[in-house]
Structure 1
Amino acid sequence: MAFQCQRDCYMQEFVTSVVSCCPGELKLETNGKKEKVKGFNVTLKDTILFPEGGGQPDDRGTIEDVAVLRVTRQGPEAVHFVGSALEVGAEVQLKVDWERRFDHMQQHSGQHLVTALADTMFGYKTTSWELGRQRSIIELDTATVKPGEMEALERAVNEKIRDHVPVTVQLLSLDDPAVEKVRSRGLPDDHAGPIRIIEIEGVDTNMCCGTHVSNLSHLQVIKILGTEKGKKNKTNLIFLAGNRVLKYAEKSYSIERSLTALLKTGADDHVEAVDKLQKSVKVLQKNNLNLLRDMAVLIAQNFKSNPNRGNLFCLHRKDGDNEFMNIIANEICTEDTVVFLTVGEEKGAGLFLLAGPVGIVDKLGPRVVELLEGKGAGKNGRFQGKANRMGRRAEVEALLQEHSRLRSSEEE
């Protein structure tokens, strides 16, 4: 059967009843990490919350003010995952997150329109598509597109939008001869019930389970951002539809204003201004690197010229790097001197280098890594790596000073 969300894509509230409610688990992504959440899988007599399918993500909404975290289709049923149990047989009110739903409707109908006209105008078939969070991608079955084709395609799709072309839905039985004439990439293995056909009058007839606008005018506008090379001789067409175009324009203007304030130039000169800045930064970085190299040599020579230098040298510098540390270690004779160098933030993460007699470095290197809570490796009298707790340098220096004192006592 078709769900209520498919029969009336514009319905935002709906009353139905709970058919089943069973404990379940769901993997949710939070701050880039997937975590298992315990809750309940609920099936309803009918639903206005669309389950994921046809390239369209699932809806969000509420059942009796309980948040619906996921909607999936299992055969003829839509399964709603919620955090609280619902009483079987109870009447419940559903509300759909309309902003999310209407956005999906605009992108999905927009994809049908772009796909149909790309085929009609240039013979480019659509092999797949992705409704992304910020922009959508249509994979075209062509290795390249010719100059001017995307501009012509964009003009054509927006002309159809201005023409207020109706979009209608039909439900056909699987054995209806009309099904054979409909564009389709095939039905899922667990499909049940009638075939749902989306028709853009005079433009396209397509088999689809998703939610769609009832008239192309509801798309407002489509912007084709461009194309990029896809996989296996495909081309990815990137587009925005409806409210996403407005949000993109608003965001772009905000960025433009910020860049104008920072660069002190008009929008037309932003690229040139940034190019000049990048070149200046490269020159400054090169000069800074040369200065660090010279400084490293001077630091080492100053230590070596000190008659009371001892057999331990420790130094931290915020703006150094691995090369800076290695120059110092190379300049100081580490056959009889232990060198401990660190670069980076005073108490954050950074880099370290321990150099000296092979036996001492092999013995103390792992302990230094442990104290700095980092990672490292060593050979031939060098042990270096990453430190996560640079604030513990003093503990490392105390360890090395104690070892140096014992070493001096033994030599006496």
Structure 2
Amino acid sequence: METMQELFYRDPYAREFSATVTSCREGKKGFEVVLDDTAFYPEGGGQPSDEGTLGEAKVIFVKRVGPEIVHYIDKPLEVGSTVIGKIDWERRFDNMQNHTCEHIFSGLVHQKYKLENVGFHMDPDDITVDFSGEIPMESIPELEQLVNQAITQDIDLKIEFPTEEALEAMEYRSKKELHGVVRIVTIPGCDRCACCGTHVRRSGEIGMFKILDASKHRGGTRVRFVAGERARRDYGWRVKEIAKVSALFSAKPHEIAKAAANFIEEGKAKDQKSAQRTERYLQFVASGLVSRNGLVKVFEEDLSPFELKRFAGMLKEKFPESSIGVFSPIEGGFNYVIASSDPELPKFSKSLNAKLNGRGGGRDGMVQGTYRVDKEAVEEAFDEIFSK
């Protein structure tokens, strides 16, 4: 079969076809089958391959290998047999809608800003396009509107294979210089581009286009968008999630951002009050402590690592000549902070970690981490190390 004359090019709307199996071999990804013709699009040009079935076999992936189009399937097929192929049409048409829409979008960006499409990737949920320069962020809504206007105009696409002479005289988008058989896809008024992908017949079949976000990326601009059925799916899950959040905040859908901001501010205020209460409590506990033999050790419930460190610092100010150990129970052990002016503290900390199945360290007279032993073992080891 001559390249670029396969069935998926002759009739991109073919959902079912029959073909002869010309080869079948077992490979690393299952069985590799070649047909005398195929409607299965092979991965290429940023567009994923088709999926579907060949007879009873599942088509997992399709790739062009040299002049052949290889179908990777889960069961062997008899060479010389006739097989019925069925395309996963929902997946294919979704890709056709989004690929065609990318042409319109990239073409209009090229017309307006003279920027090149330098990267194109089709994920199952959205499309990513990278451009060679910065698109003004304030122009993104206008570009979205222009693309949707082109869709509603229901423009007929034109696909041609110009001669080499005609190609040289033609202005078209391409990531590299091309020779030989070149497939040119034209969307009048929007774009002319060399492309090997599949497309809808008319722009109106795309349905709709929505930019999800745009940002600066490596000196250029990265844009994520959805079109067609993919846009409907995207809109569907967003509506559901917004409804859930709206119910949680008891706010109207268009007011949930404000409700979330208020919730966060209220949470910060509560956290601040809680921190103030904890500070007063720790000061109260500290007022009743005494240093015994140059050691102060405290076991307190429900202290975060930050609160442990704050408490140890508070006690160090009160007992500057003592070694301070603050411990808070966790499942299977303790979080700890030890503060001491003893220059041997790093050495002592390593010894305690070894004795107490511990992890952690620090500097500037303070170490912190976890011990995985019981309280009795912590007390005994702390007294032994720092009483020397």
Structures share fold, TM-score greater than 0.5:
yes
CA distance in 2, matches of 1:380, 1:365: 18
Q: Which residue of 2 aligns with 1:199?
A: 186
CA distance in 2, matches of 1:188, 1:89: 39
Q: Is the 8 A contact 2:312 2:326 kept in 1?
A: no
What is the CA-CA distance between 1:110 and the residue it aligns to? Answer: 0.3
- Measured after TM superposition, the shift of residue 301 of structure 1 is 4.2
Provide the residue aligned with 2:145 in structure 1.
Answer: 155
CA contact (8 A) 2:282 2:311 kept: yes
Residue deviations 1:67-114, cap 9 Å, x none? 444333333233334445555444444333322222211111001112
Q: Give the aligned partner of residue 242 of structure 2.
A: 256
For 1:355 and 1:146, how far apart are their aligned partners in 2? 52
One of 166, 174, 178 as aligned partner of 1:185: 174
Q: Which residue of structure 2 lines up, in the alignment, with residue 167 of structure 1?
A: 157
**Structure 1: how far apart are the matches of 2:301 and 2:177?**
61
- How far the C-alpha of 1:53 sits from its partner, in A, is 1.6
Offset from partner CA, 1:332-369 (integer Å, 9 cap, x none): 769776736247x6469x9543567746433121443x
More divergent stretch after superposition (273-282 vs 133-142)? 133-142
Residue 56 of structure 1: CA displacement?
Answer: 1.6
Inter-partner Cα distance in structure 1 for 2:167 and 2:296: 87
* Comparing 195-204 and 275-284, the one that deviates more: 195-204
Q: Check if 1:95 corresponds to 2:86.
A: yes
C-alpha deviation, 1:218, in angstroms: 0.8
CA offset at residue 181 of structure 1?
1.0
| Structure 2 unaligned residues grouped into runs of 5+ | none
Secondary structure of the structure 2 residue equivalent to 1:304: coil
| Shift in CA distance, 325/119, structure 1 to aligned 2, threshold 3 Å | closer
Q: How far apart are the structure 2 equivalents of 1:84 and 1:367?
A: 59
Query: Which residue of the partner structure matches residue 21 of structure 1?
Result: 25
Q: Secondary structure at the match of 1:265?
A: coil
Change (3 A) 1:7 1:340: farther
The 1:379–1:278 alpha-carbon spacing in structure 2 relative to 1, beyond 3 Å, is: closer
Q: 2:14 aligns with which of 11, 17, 20?
A: 11
Asked whether 1:279 is paired with 2:283, we answer no
1:63–1:95 contact (8 Å) kept in structure 2 = yes
Residue 126 of structure 2 is aligned to residue 145 of structure 1: no
CA gap 1:41/1:294 in 2 versus in 1, 3 angstroms: farther
**C-alpha spacing 1:168/1:353, structure 2 compared with 1 (3 Å):** same
**Identity of paired residues, percent?**
25
- Say if 2:312 and 2:338, in contact at 8 Å, map to a contact too: no
- Per the TM alignment, residue 237 of structure 1 is displaced from its structure 2 partner at its CA by 3.7
**Equivalence for 1:30:** none
Report the counterpart of residue 400 of structure 1 in structure 2.
Answer: 378
Q: Secondary structure in 1 aligned to 2:102?
A: helix
- Alpha-carbon separation, structure 2, partners of 1:338 and 1:140: 58
Instruction: Tell me the secondary structure at the aligned position of residue 183 of structure 2.
Output: strand
Is residue 5–residue 49 contact of structure 1 (8 Å, CA) maintained in 2? yes
**Contact kept? 1:222, 1:239, Cα under 8 Å:** yes
Give the counterpart letter for 2:149 in structure 1. E
Task: Give unpaired runs (5+ residues) of structure 1.
Answer: 25-37
Q: Secondary structure at the match of 1:195?
A: coil
Residue 139 of structure 1 and its aligned partner are, at CA, apart by: 3.2
Structure 2 length-normalised TM:
0.79
Q: Which residue of 349, 353, 358 corresponds with 2:337?
A: 353
Equivalent in the alignment of 1:328: 312
Q: Residue 407 and residue 168 in structure 1: after superposition, are their counterparts in 2 closer, same or farther (change >3 A)? A: closer
1:194-225 deviation digits (Å, cap 9, x = unpaired) = 32222224543321011111111110112234
| TM-score, length-scaled by structure 1 | 0.75
Match of 2:196 among 188, 200, 209: 209
Alignment-derived partner of residue 208 in structure 2? 221
Q: Name the SS of the counterpart of 2:198 in structure 1.
A: coil
Matches within 5 A, 1:308-323: 313=297, 315=299, 317-318=301-302, 320-323=304-307
Say if 1:132 and 1:150 are closer, same or farther in 2 by CA, change over 3 A.
same
Contact 1:297-1:328 within 8 A present in 2 as well: no
Deviation at residue 331 of structure 1 after TM alignment: 1.2
The alignment's C-alpha RMSD in Å is 3.8
